[in-house]
Amino acid sequence: MVQVAIIGYGTVGSGVAEVIERNAESIAKKAGQKIEVKYICDIRDFTDDPNQDKLIKDFSIILNDPDISVVVESIGGLKPAYQFVKDSLLAHKSVVTSNKELVATKGWELLKIAREQGVNFLFEASVGGGTPIIRPMHQCLAANQFDEIAGILNGTTNFMLTKMAREGLSFDEALSLAQQLGYAETIDPSADVDGHDCCRKICILASLAFGRHIFPDQVPTSGIRTVTTEDIALAGQLGYAIKLIGRAKKQEDGRVFIEVCPALVDRASQLSTVDDVFNGILVRSDMLGDVLFYGRGAGKLPTASAVVADIIDTVRSENIHQSLYWEKVDEDFLQDAAQDVCGHYLRVACADTAKVLEVAELVFGQLGRCESCGAYTAFVTAEQSQRDFENARDKLAALLPVENCMKVMPY
Ligand SMILES: NC(=O)C1=CN([C@@H]2O[C@H](COP(=O)(O)OP(=O)(O)OC[C@H]3O[C@@H](n4cnc5c(N)ncnc54)[C@H](OP(=O)(O)O)[C@@H]3O)[C@@H](O)[C@H]2O)C=CC1
Ligand SMILES: N[C@@H](CC=O)C(=O)O
């Protein structure tokens, strides 16, 4: 029998305890032995909880118990999660975490410690919630070189954009619903709406794909606060959906372009059909080509299912996952955002479509469709570098009231 400890008994931690209890028999078959939760450590009190006998408040009990070989970290954030995880690895215990902030900022260091200690540091649930992505990229696509990753990586904002588009909910109403359903980050929901959560996830995937740690503060990041219901309607009329996209692309010179932004996705693209709390992650590699991973990106049991899969993996592994690894390097290998080439959507506060088209074509050259909705007109430009686009946008803004602009994704 393997005894595990859970630290952080919130949405994910309680889900992990529930999955281990509910599917005990099948989990034991897959792991080759019974898995039992011995301790659950949380700072809160839980009256009438069925796991009362396991609840503790002092993490050092776990650290000093030689029977605990796997620690599940589901506290979130860096403090005290980082120290608890590091201490667990140094105490020769494998760690499974759902904490993307931890992996995105300290992944290289924790992977190094795990490797030196001959234990596992696994984090499937840190990206995509319950949707498998880390293990498929690391194991099933091991024969490939990665070219590009682009995804809808944040369940909360995708849920909110879907509710705003389908039911006309305001931004605040949609966020409050996402919080009630346990999708939004409890520590700081702005992590979802301002793109930081998506940024952490694309950093993890890009670090895994390209072998070097990419830190969240290196990534140009914007969230969905600027997206209005008019943008959603106009994008729809132009044939697009609006999604928060995290993407990382290897350039010909070996550098990587990485960013997080709200963007237009063509209705013909599979990514545009990823709605509600679902995540969709497009991975482009040299041998397989494109593959899309789709599934629930947040929520108690979906996320717990990924955590428990990591526990099973570490229990049955004869060999430690030595190849699940990336390094921190000092040299900068990220491409300047000004060089990225994309089409753009612009929304102008002017209902006169003919006038907008005439003026916009003076600046951007020939345009395709132009659509209006209420007091606004919107159009999409041809592809050009970010630097050229910004110059042209500034010229247009001197002639017409430009209210919003977003990239158009080439997927
Ligand atoms: N919710 C989701 O759908 C998903 C979450 N994640 C990630 O999983 C992690 C956990 O998320 P989630 O379960 O939603 O968060 P919750 O806030 O629901 O749970 C965290 C729990 O940890 C407790 N805690 C805080 N400090 C300590 C401490 N020092 N020792 C022990 N317990 C502590 C919290 O108590 P208190 O409330 O008093 O602070 C809370 O009960 C986060 O990193 C999140 O990003 C990943 C995928 C999906
Ligand atoms: N807040 C996150 C939860 C999972 O990572 C999200 O909405 O995707």
> Do 158 and 239 sit in the same domain of this protein?
yes
- Report the C-alpha gap between 16 and 37 in whole angstroms: 9
> Do 349 and 276 sit in the same domain of this protein?
no
> Do 235 and 251 sit in the same domain of this protein?
yes
CA separation (Å) from 228 to 162, 171, 308, 403, 406? 12, 8, 39, 10, 12
* Residue 123 placed within a domain: yes
CA separation (Å) from 226 to 69, 222, 248, 405, 407? 46, 9, 22, 9, 13
Q: Can you give the residue range of the structural domain that contains 375?
A: 340-408
Smallest CA separation from ligand 1 atom 41, residue: 10
* Averaged confidence pLDDT in the chain: 95
* Residue 332 placed within a domain: no
Out of 28-32, 170-174, 329-333, which region has the weakest mean confidence (pLDDT)? Answer: 329-333
> Do 211 and 284 sit in the same domain of this protein?
yes
Reported as a single tens digit per residue, the pLDDT across 47-60 is 999 999 999 999 99
Q: Is 154 in the pocket of ligand 2 (CB under 6 A)?
A: yes
**Encoded tokens for 233:** 């309607």
- Choosing from 86, 106, 163, 201, the catalytic residue is 201
How many separate domains does the chain show?
Answer: 3
3-state secondary structure 240-260: EEEEEEEEEEECCCCCEEEEE
Pair 300, 156: CB distance under 8 Å: no
Check whether 104 has a pLDDT greater than 90. Answer: yes
What confidence category does residue 68 fall into, taking pLDDT thresholds of 50, 70 and 90? Answer: very high
Q: Is 155 in the pocket of ligand 2 (CB under 6 A)?
A: yes
Q: Is 103 in the pocket of ligand 2 (CB under 6 A)?
A: no
41: closest CA among 87, 1, 90? 87
Out of 198-202, 214-218, 368-372, 403-407, which region has the weakest mean confidence (pLDDT)? Answer: 368-372
Give the Å distance between the CA of 214 and the centre of ligand 1.
24
Instruction: Give percent of the chain above pLDDT 90.
Output: 90
* Residue 21 placed within a domain: yes
Check whether 187 has a pLDDT greater than 80. Answer: no
Residue 55 sits in a domain whose CATH number is: 3.40.50.720
Reported as a single tens digit per residue, the pLDDT across 77-97 is 999 999 999 999 999 999 999
Out of 131-135, 183-187, 213-217, 330-334, which region has the weakest mean confidence (pLDDT)? Answer: 183-187
Pair 284, 205: CB distance under 8 Å: no
> Do 402 and 264 sit in the same domain of this protein?
no
Active-site annotation holds for 29 = no
- Nearest listed ligand to the Cα of residue 44: 1
* Residue 335 placed within a domain: no
Instruction: Identify the pLDDT of residue 318.
Output: 67
- Nearest listed ligand to the Cα of residue 125: 1
* Residue 158 placed within a domain: yes
Residue 356 sits in a domain whose CATH number is: 3.30.70.980
Out of 188-192, 194-198, 282-286, which region has the weakest mean confidence (pLDDT)? Answer: 188-192
Instruction: Identify the pLDDT of residue 329.
Output: 84
> Do 143 and 100 sit in the same domain of this protein?
no
- Nearest listed ligand to the Cα of residue 178: 2
Give the Å distance between the CA of 296 and the centre of ligand 2.
10
The Cα diameter of the chain in Å comes to 75
> Do 167 and 268 sit in the same domain of this protein?
yes
> Do 62 and 150 sit in the same domain of this protein?
no
> Do 165 and 283 sit in the same domain of this protein?
yes
Give the Å distance between the CA of 316 and the centre of ligand 2.
28
Instruction: Give percent of the chain above pLDDT 70.
Output: 99
More confident residue, 278 or 188: 278
The residue with tokens 């994910």 is 12
Check whether 186 has a pLDDT greater than 90. Answer: no
Check whether 393 has a pLDDT greater than 90. Answer: yes
- Report the C-alpha gap between 354 and 405 in whole angstroms: 19
Reported as a single tens digit per residue, the pLDDT across 232-278 is 999 999 999 999 999 999 999 989 999 999 999 999 999 999 999 99
> Do 176 and 218 sit in the same domain of this protein?
yes
Binding-site residues: 7-14, 100, 185
Residue 219 sits in a domain whose CATH number is: 3.30.360.10
Tell me the CB-side half-sphere exposure of residue 69, using CA atoms within 13 A.
15
Q: Is 101 in the pocket of ligand 2 (CB under 6 A)?
A: no
What confidence category does residue 323 fall into, taking pLDDT thresholds of 50, 70 and 90? Answer: confident
* Residue 32 placed within a domain: yes
Distance between first and last Cα of the chain: 47
More confident residue, 318 or 284: 284
- Report the C-alpha gap between 179 and 198 in whole angstroms: 17
* Residue 322 placed within a domain: no
Q: Is 323 in the pocket of ligand 1 (CB under 6 A)?
A: no
> Do 275 and 310 sit in the same domain of this protein?
no
Instruction: Among 316, 348, 375, identify where a domain stops.
Output: 316
Mean of pLDDT values over 223-235? 95
Reported as a single tens digit per residue, the pLDDT across 373-386 is 999 999 999 999 99
369: closest CA among 380, 358, 383, 356? 380
Reported as a single tens digit per residue, the pLDDT across 268-311 is 999 999 999 999 999 999 999 999 999 998 889 999 999 999 99
> Do 208 and 309 sit in the same domain of this protein?
no
* Residue 321 placed within a domain: no
Tell me the CB-side half-sphere exposure of residue 215, using CA atoms within 13 A.
10
What confidence category does residue 43 fall into, taking pLDDT thresholds of 50, 70 and 90? Answer: very high
